[in-house]
Amino acid sequence: MKKLINRVDDVVPESLEGVGLAHPDLVKIDLEHKVVLRVGGPRQGKVGLVSGGGSGHEPLHGGFVGLGMLDAACAGNVFTSPTPDQMEFATRAVDGGAGVLHIVKNYTGDVLNFQMAADLVNGDVEVASVVTNDDVAVQDSLYTAGRRGVGATVLVEKIAGAKAEEGATLDGVRATAEKVNANARSMGMALTSCIVPAAGTPTFQLGDDEIEIGIGIHGEPGRRREKLVPVDEIAATLVEPIVDDLALSQGDDVLAFVNSMGGTPLIELYIAFRSVASLLADRGISISRSLVGPYITSLEMAGFSVTLLRLDDELKRLWDAPVHTPALRWGA
Q: Which helix H or strand E contains 88, and what residues bound it?
A: helix 84-94
Eight-class DSSP state of 24? T
Separation of alpha carbons 244 and 207, rounded Å: 30
- Per CB under 8 A, does 138 bind other proteins? yes
Site pattern 68..107 for other proteins (x: CB under 8 A): --------xxxxxxxxxx---------------------x
- Per CB under 6 A, does 109 bind ligand ADP? yes
Site pattern 65..104 for Mg ion (x: CB under 5 A): --------------xx------------------------
Separation of alpha carbons 164 and 171, rounded Å: 10
- Per CB under 5 A, does 57 bind Mg ion? no
Catalytic residue, chosen from 23, 33, 57, 102, is 57
- Per CB under 8 A, does 268 bind other proteins? no
- Whole-angstrom CA distances from 316 to 9, 147, 172, 253, 310 are 41, 26, 17, 10, 10
- Per CB under 5 A, does 203 bind Mg ion? no
Q: Which is nearer to a second copy, 108 or 288 (CB)?
A: 288
The answer to whether residue 218 is catalytic is yes
Q: Given phi > 0 = left and psi -120 to 50 = alpha, else beta, which region is 103?
A: beta
Reduced to 3 states (helix: H, G, I; strand: E, B; else coil), residue 286 is strand
Catalytic residue, chosen from 23, 33, 102, 218, is 218
Check if the beta carbon of residue 194 is closer than 8 Å to that of residue 300. Answer: yes
Site pattern 277..316 for a second copy (x: CB under 8 A): x---------x--x-x-x--x-xx-xxx------------
- For the annotated catalytic residues, the residue numbers are 57, 218
